[in-house]
Amino acid sequence: MFWRKQRAAMEAFHPLHQALIHERAFSVTMPPAEWRRLLDSLAAQRETVRRRKWQPHERAHIVLVPLLRVLLADMRPGGQLGVTADLRGPNLPEKRSQSHKYQGRRPVRSVTEWYTFDPWLRLRAELRDGSVLDIAVAERTRHRKIHKVNARGKHKWKTKTKAVHRVSVVRRLPRNAAPQRPATPPPPWLAVRVKDGERMVIKAGAKIAVGPRFREQDLPDHILTVAAEPFRWTARPTRSAP
């Protein structure tokens, strides 16, 4: 009886909501109204289906939902929002590089190193001001397996990881729009490039280290900080007098 109720509730979820539960991934472009239906479906799950095995990846609620809400608030009604979300994790063969083995200095006998690169989120939104905003987030992790032999001949293996989130934002301005250098420079951890042309392009990028103080809940704020930087490089539209 309990399973039938749970299954009926899940079958009523938005199709992309079901994809986040079963496939952990989707790639689609839809108008704002359809994305709001997905947000309503995700919000309703906490009241109907609570088993952990049927929950989407935590990044769906922690990162994807807040970013969707911010972008939808700044989109034009007829605009389109495209999202590619891959929440299957970095431990897939296609996301792992070849491993390389290096000789170490005593007591280290050898070091085996490999990388995983997980481009797990990309969003493309047509905004109200006529510009197009692209946001890409990828997690790059360096793995090292260290083989040690102590003076008594005892062998030990230890694995170390070092991860960073790479956030890249591209804002393509409307035709004939001109940039305006902000009064203050961007923070040193954030790189900005401006490309001139028929349509001005402003790019911002940053690396966010995943260290002891890093919290996944803070990731949306970091992403939005990078995404806000290209808007500082354009003049605010002036409002016409009534």
pLDDT (tens digit, 9 = 90+) per residue, 116-150? Answer: 999 999 999 999 999 999 999 999 999 999 999 88
Lowest mean pLDDT of 84-88, 104-108, 125-129, 159-163, name the range: 104-108
Question: What is the mean predicted confidence (pLDDT) over 100-125?
Answer: 92
Side chain identity at residue 61, one-letter code: H
154 or 120: which leads in pLDDT: 120
- pTM: predicted TM-score of the whole model, two decimal places: 0.88
How confident is the prediction for the chain on average, in pLDDT? 90
The pLDDT of 6-10, averaged and rounded, is 78
> Does pLDDT of 240 surpass 60?
no
3-state helix, strand, coil in the chain (%, to 5): 30, 40, 30
Structural domain boundaries in the chain: 2-233
22-74 residue pLDDT tens: 999 999 999 999 999 999 999 988 777 877 888 899 999 999 999 999 999 99
Helix, strand, or coil here: 28?
A: strand
Residue 1 has pLDDT above 60, yes or no: no
Amino acid 178: pLDDT: 75
> Token pair for residue 151?
């003076």
78: its two tokens: 């007829």
Rounded distance, CA 64 to CA 119, Å? 14
Residue 238 pLDDT > 70? no
* Confidence tier at 3 by pLDDT (50, 70, 90): low
Please give the single-letter amino acid code of residue 13: F
Strands (E), the chain: 25-30, 81-86, 100-103, 108-126, 132-149, 155-172, 190-195, 201-210
Residue % of the chain over a pLDDT of 90: 67
| Mean pLDDT to the nearest integer, 199-223 | 92
pLDDT of residue 6: 74
Residues 167-182 have pLDDT tens digits of 999 999 988 777 788 9
